[in-house]
Amino acid sequence: MESDFPIKRIIDNDGLLVDKSFEKKIDEKLVKDLYYNMVRIRTFDRKAIHLQRQGRLGTYAPFEGQEAAQVGSALALKPDDWVFPTYRDHGATLTFGADMVRAYLYWNGRVEGCVPPEGKNIFPPAVPIATQLPHAVGAAWAEKRKGTKNAAIVYFGDGATSEGDFHEGLNFASVFKVPVVFFNQNNGYAISVPIEKQMNSATIAQKSIAYDMPGIRIDGNDCFVVYFETIKAFETARSGQGPTLIEAVTWRIGAHTTADDPTKYRPKEQGANIVDPLVRLERFMKNYGYWDEQSIEDTHNKTTSEIDAAVDEMERFPASNVEDIFNHVYEKTPAHLINQKKMYFKHLKWIVR
């Protein structure tokens, strides 16, 4: 079955075009947009890890290695589309227009981190696995019923395909021809569980067959194939033909979260032959005349300044309020939560003593 779903790519590890039909479709603006956003979110990601290690940020889920998958897909969106991220897709939401200060606030436990900018349809990050898939289908179905051409993209990892929500989402979207793109980032592991223990299927893309929708596998570290194939999937969605399942094969360079130690379950040599997606893009830029030292330096300086300013603003906010765990869920807080809240603070006072 794996041979029925070969991995599509446009550039190879050396940054050389392997599909010459895209040579005229790739222009300077696209290259600059991809590079700028990939540098921006990587700088954001590394800064977040440093902040967490310094005790200035809470537990954090890094995405280094998945920049091409997140930026390439997010740049394919139109302004009024919907984005349904997991806890590892803040790179995609930042590319789509999420506020960077609020992205940092999310990882510091403040409720503001779940609030998108005005006019941006960005769902709060889904920490429970796969719950966002039916939500994305519902939002896209609503757009279809309203007669718009807006669509939704929903991100999820390989572990999500073991959840019922995955199958319910794909089935509903298929039956009603919902304008949604199911974007899987297959980074090799569901926390510590390798994909070969996660499922018996040779690919995730083949799961599309059961729901009679297009399914493709792409090189998730090739930003160009991600971009163009996601655009193609959106064209299918907007035309009324329904959903597409995309499996972007990528690699999680670091830990599952800053509370995880991947050396306990991942062989040291595993992933050593995978070329960093940003390095691949840089090689392409050098090979085809898009590399400009001054422009590259300006990009790094601009993103660093933006991130430093965002961190400064984030740290001016008061510490998160633990009561937010109990508030804002129900219009009227039920008795059992009131009792839990009382017990929690009673226990907290005992600890402080």
Distance (Å, rounded) from C-alpha 200 to C-alpha 185? 18
**Sign of the dihedral defined by the CA atoms of residues 122, 124, 130, 132, in that order:** negative
Residue for token digits 């090689």? 283
One-letter identity of residue 318? P
CA angle 290, 298, 251 (to 5 degrees): 65
Q: Is residue 50 annotated as a catalytic residue, yes or no?
A: no
Distance (Å, rounded) from C-alpha 214 to C-alpha 158? 18
Annotated active-site residue in 42, 217, 256, 280: 256
For residue 282, count other CB atoms closer than 10 A to its CB: 18
Distance (Å, rounded) from C-alpha 90 to C-alpha 312? 19
Annotated active-site residue in 50, 53, 145, 265: 265
Q: Is residue 265 annotated as a catalytic residue, yes or no?
A: yes
The β-bridge partners of 190 are 193
Per the document, the length of the chain is 353
Annotated active-site residue in 252, 280, 283, 290: 252
The β-bridge partners of 218 are 8, 248
For residue 158, give the DSSP letter: G
**173: buried, middle or exposed (CB in 10 Å: 19+, 13-18, 0-12)?**
buried
- Contact predicate 59/52, CB 8 Å: yes
- Contact predicate 87/38, CB 8 Å: no
- Contact predicate 122/52, CB 8 Å: no
For residue 204, give the DSSP letter: S
CA–CA distances in Å: residue 13 to residues 118, 189, 235: 39, 22, 28
Q: Is residue 53 annotated as a catalytic residue, yes or no?
A: no
| Catalytic annotation, residues | 252, 256, 265
